Structure 1
């Protein structure tokens, strides 16, 4: 199987996103948005409901579920010591509204998102990018600087951090804008193998008992 790699610059166009297929590798250059907070995602939904303004315009952007260890200077500036993905399924209830509401072209973390989220991505032209779990060193190597902090009154890993990155990756297209999911494919493959193994075990048992 040939691995297809894409070097993409943010913000992303719908055309660029729809050219990606599940299983492709992606490198990102530009500015991303990152947070690991459930309360932050709740607050973003509130912004869509008019409770308060959004801290950033994310149209065409990428919002990733990434946790980080930060160092804050006396002037309030932030530097990232390391960054690692958190489990995206925690945000299944949020993303079907946030994807169209924020105009996202990419989201991601680890573990994938559910079918309702995949439907929203297919409708809007958005992909889920999978980060290597435990790959903090690889992820952090792509970070150049923090360019903005949204909601600084929140604890550090709940803030939305805008980060300039250069060739961040490789990231795997886990769910593409056509709704194809490597997570669904893996589950189906595992189920097929499980059925085959059980059939072999039954045949062996029956042979032993005859």
Structure 2
């Protein structure tokens, strides 16, 4: 039976073991977001080279989410949160999941099986954000608590923001290695031979008319 979970951040692995694929989640606490490929590339380089990062990710989050922050007298206001496609970051996420000690990641569209293996190994889940849900998700914004790598354009920066009841988010990959995306892929592939046969038969029938 699918459940709804109200999670307070930061969170530990044990607390995530009761979450299953398809469950709904609402998050409260500090999250880290960035939508920039250069950002994830730089993070990976920092992890591989064991260079000090500008913020602590341990037991935390890294979401594939763009944002717009406006600076005023040294403080920042976040205008919106908008998820981006996670598969853009497939090549970086296994390293980042392990190297940053992530407990939660997410965005749109899921991650590949290399990332799933890393998540199962370390105790991390993937949360699917509502596509086109920018207005709804942005209602959860409470306070920007840190902006890092300001040499990057605003939605590429690492931004830490405090949210309240961010959601609804859906568990797309759980800590046990179950992935709704892999299941959908395998289901689609299983139907492919039948679809191809049907198309072939229709083409042949059309050529005889």
Please give the root-mean-square deviation of Cα atoms over the aligned residues, in Å: 2.2
Q: Aligned to 2:54, what secondary structure does the other structure show? A: coil
Residues 151 and 202 (structure 1), Cα distance of their counterparts in 2 relative to 1, 3 Å cut: closer
Which residue, 170, 173, 176 being the options, matches 1:175?
173
Q: Aligned to 1:168, what secondary structure does the other structure show? A: strand
Q: Corresponding residue for 2:115?
A: 117
Deviation string 1:46-78 (CA, Å, 9 cap, x unpaired) is 2223464211111111100101233222x2322
Q: Corresponding residue for 1:33?
A: 32
Matches within 5 A, 1:27-176: 27-50=26-49, 52-73=51-72, 75-176=73-174
Q: Aligned to 2:31, what secondary structure does the other structure show? A: strand
Distance 1:94 1:47 in 2: 12
Q: Aligned to 1:179, what secondary structure does the other structure show? A: coil
Distance 1:66 1:135 in 2: 12
| Preserved contact between residue 2 and residue 20 of structure 2 (Cα < 8 Å) | no
Q: Aligned to 1:11, what secondary structure does the other structure show? A: coil
Distance 1:164 1:191 in 2: 41
* Structure 1 unpaired stretches of 5+: none
Tell me how far 1:79 sits from its aligned partner.
1.4
* TM-score of the pair, normalised by structure 1: 0.89
| Preserved contact between residue 121 and residue 179 of structure 1 (Cα < 8 Å) | yes
Q: Corresponding residue for 2:14?
A: 15
* TM-score of the pair, normalised by structure 2: 0.89
Tell me how far 1:127 sits from its aligned partner.
0.5
Tell me how far 1:196 sits from its aligned partner.
5.4
Distance 2:140 2:188 in 1: 33
